Structure 1
Amino acid sequence: MKRRSTTERLFTPAFITLGIAELCYFTAFGVALFALPLYVTGPIGGDAAAAGLAVGAFALSALVLRPIAGRLADRFGRLPLLFGGALLAAASLALLLVAESLPVVVALRLLAGVAEAAFFVAGFAALADLAPEARMGEALSYNSLGLYLGISLGPLLGAALVDLAGFGLAWTAAAVLALLAASLTLLVGETRTEAPADDAERHLIHRPAIPIVLGFLAALIAMGGFLAFASLDATQLGFDNAGLALFVYGAVVVVCRIAFARVPDKVPSLALGTAALVVIGVGLIIAASLRSPVGLLMGAAVLAVGVAFSTPAFFSAIFATATPSQRGVASGTASAVIDLGLGLGPIALGLVADGFGIPWAFGAGAAVAGVGAIWTLVLSRRVAVSSPGRDDHIG
């Protein structure tokens, strides 16, 4: 593919509108993330296991459908999946107003997973269409703020709405936010610029990216384990506010994504991914070895620095293997790995925590990150992968 100029404009109306649409969508997601466990254990009458099932059910359908959504985004365009996904999300949230049993709630969460697969995959593909090739890493850094801010602000909004007028207002507001996201996607419009690939070129999995996503998977497993046990570890260490470690983590990611947005375009992608994995491992080692509130906060902050660079680095490397007509499938492959990693991390490291304690679980996460760093370093020496602003490419 011909390399575009590094001076091409990034902050176009379509790019900004896409970011706002994603902020609305993920804020709605964050409202549900807060309110759903309370709704299941309250009005529905379920227990903690039921709440966990309700919260996590969406990931099952999302994981299965992301690769299919990627192919559909390449075949029919990004807009139908962006618009349709946001509408499905609005429907799944609005119908919670009349959900009075756990099976109904789980069914609606599975529907939310369909929406998530469509919207998330098409959103990343649209981002790759809109971003200048030489500024792909910067675009990924800024675009991800919608996800992080939405998941951070959504629970705060959900808590305020539930306190004000109960769950009905929370579900209504979340549905309205999803409808707003759908409306904004119409302003973004269709971003695909090339015709669909021939039948022989269409796959559900973007095969050239498979070696790269293994390194990305290691980062996600390590991160997922920390996110799952940070609050519990904070409680055991005597924090007054058990959510402080996660707040520090989220704040550092957001600050780094803004302050260092251009770094992924100046450093070869897999080299940056290797460094990010090392930093993630160091953060987990700090949290595992310095058993104090300060140690956990330091570990969370260091780990967050690694996470801030890992996603732009690996997504840049993945998109570098794809032509414009393959970006949907590439996005589907990369985002499916996010579900896989964030699911495997808590499960696998949870077994370690149950048998040996949370510090050992953090240590196991650091070991996974270390193996991923070695793999990515070897891969970076085997193939010439760099940021889109360079002449290197995957061969």
Structure 2
Amino acid sequence: MNRSLLLGTGLCFLSVGLLIPMIPRFVTGPLGQGTGTVGVCLATAAVTAVLARPLAGRLADRWGRAATARAGAVVLAGASFALLLADSLPALLSSRAVAGVGEALAYVGLATAASDQGRPGAAMNLFSITVNVGLLAGPALAEVVHSAAGFDAVWVLSGVTAAGVAATSWLFGDPAEPTGRRDGGPLVHRAAVLPGLAYLAAVWGYTAFSAFIPLHVATLGHGASGAHFLVYGGVLLAVRLGGHRPLARIDPRRRGFASLALTAAGLIGLAVWPSMAGTLVASAVIGAGQALGLPAFLAIAVAGLPAGQRGSAVATTTAFFDLGFLSAALTLGAVAQSLGLASGFAIAGGVSVLALLLFVPMARRARAVVPSGGSLDHHPS
């Protein structure tokens, strides 16, 4: 896989990760808003990202992957630098809305470029590893920078790293470019709807874990959940790094099925085994499930598609992340408040179980697209 593409991906999600812990602190600190406003800020970026993804897919197919990623990086950088002037809630919300558009463009451009590689399944795995490294490193680095130099230094660093994506994008190469500058794929690609729905179910599991595990740990009599996030992140990276080569040889439908099954098992484990030991085990199982998901769902979506439609398929699939995050956060929050955390975990696990049924029509589509003996990890270029 192109090293400059990996570098650009890492910089992009480091830029995003830097803001994850700082936006809530900035909203409740200097802006003097309540915790409810934090959710509004998160939702603002998610909504604009969902709306922008279909356009991002069309641009990636029509004008090229590198150009789309470059445009997104410039928008992301501008949104981060604009935080230097965000002295009110409307200004912050405007910046987050713009950031959602930039993230959609950059994500789709980078992910589609990864799908163009000779072995898209392996390339998607490397891509997702790099995404997670950036998102895991960003919050830790942000805390260090904030402690040393304050919020403004974090905003500047986020903007500079995003600008670095724009710089590295000139080195990506764009194998799809000769077939580009045409109409491109549809705004919503039918081939990506089923894997997208499976991804949405996996995102419900991610949201249930990341948003509610601190409250779950607190009910068990422990004030911090750092060990559980450490177990989750460690297992996720270990599976993707250690299993990089062997996993690339497994049919992505099997990996996607295993992702949902493991995610469901971990969430149900949180509901039925309310102890610290049970929570640590569940964190590891959910981490393994999440590690298998995104690379598999993207590989299923682009299987058999020509280069001029892969951007549309990637955009459609990844849009389900934002849809899943929003729907899960709203639904599980209401369930947890009225029925308790265990019920929220169980319902999120049930969503993953139901999504396993999606693999029946996906298998039928694969038989129609891939000749007997073929593999979803290969497609015509």
For this structure pair, what is the TM-score category when the shorter chain's length is used for normalisation?
over 0.9
1:302 to 272, 277, 285: 285
Structure 1 residue runs without a partner (length 5+): 1-10
Shift of 1:377: 4.1
1:235 to 213, 218, 228: 218
Structure 2 residue runs without a partner (length 5+): none
What are the within-5 Å matches in structure 2 for residues 170-319 of structure 1?
Answer: 170-196=154-180, 199=183, 202-319=185-302
- SS across alignment from 2:32: coil
Q: Hey, what does 2:309 align to over in structure 1?
A: 326
Q: 2:142 matched to 1:149?
A: no
Moved more, 106-115 or 227-236: 227-236
- SS across alignment from 1:203: coil
Question: Match for 2:338: what amino acid?
Answer: G
Question: Match for 2:137: what amino acid?
Answer: L
Q: Which runs of 4+ in 1 moved over 3 A?
A: 196-199, 385-390
Question: Match for 2:253: what amino acid?
Answer: L
* Alpha-carbon distance in 1 for matches of 2:120, 2:101: 27
Q: Hey, what does 1:58 align to over in structure 2?
A: 45
Alpha-carbon displacement from aligned partner over 1:125-155 (angstroms, at most 9, x marks no partner) = 11112x21xx322211111122111111111
Shift of 1:238: 2.4
Shift of 1:380: 2.1
Q: Hey, what does 2:146 align to over in structure 1?
A: 162
Q: 1:389 to 1:143 in 2, by over 3 A?
A: farther
- TM-score, structure 2 as length reference: 0.93
**Is 1:206–1:329's contact at 8 Å kept on the other side of the alignment?**
yes
1:101 to 88, 95, 101: 88
* Alpha-carbon distance in 1 for matches of 2:257, 2:342: 24
* Alpha-carbon distance in 1 for matches of 2:106, 2:361: 34
Q: Hey, what does 2:25 align to over in structure 1?
A: 38
Q: 1:383 to 1:137 in 2, by over 3 A?
A: closer
Cα-Cα RMSD: 2.2
- SS across alignment from 2:21: helix
Q: 1:378 to 1:202 in 2, by over 3 A?
A: closer
Moved more, 114-123 or 210-219: 210-219
Q: 2:57 matched to 1:70?
A: yes
**Is 2:49–2:101's contact at 8 Å kept on the other side of the alignment?**
yes
* Alpha-carbon distance in 1 for matches of 2:152, 2:365: 55
Shift of 1:197: 7.8
2:363 to 380, 387, 390: 380
- TM-score, structure 1 as length reference: 0.90
- SS across alignment from 2:20: helix
* Alpha-carbon distance in 1 for matches of 2:334, 2:50: 22
Aligned positions, number: 377
Shift of 1:323: 1.2
Moved more, 118-127 or 304-313: 304-313
Question: Match for 1:391: what amino acid?
Answer: G
Q: Hey, what does 1:335 align to over in structure 2?
A: 318
Question: Match for 2:359: what amino acid?
Answer: T
**Is 2:63–2:181's contact at 8 Å kept on the other side of the alignment?**
no
**Is 2:195–2:317's contact at 8 Å kept on the other side of the alignment?**
no
* Alpha-carbon distance in 2 for matches of 1:347, 1:157: 29
**Is 1:268–1:386's contact at 8 Å kept on the other side of the alignment?**
no
State the percentage of identical aligned residues: 31
- SS across alignment from 1:262: helix
Question: Match for 1:80: what amino acid?
Answer: A
**Is 2:304–2:369's contact at 8 Å kept on the other side of the alignment?**
no
Q: Hey, what does 1:119 align to over in structure 2?
A: 106
**Is 2:185–2:310's contact at 8 Å kept on the other side of the alignment?**
no
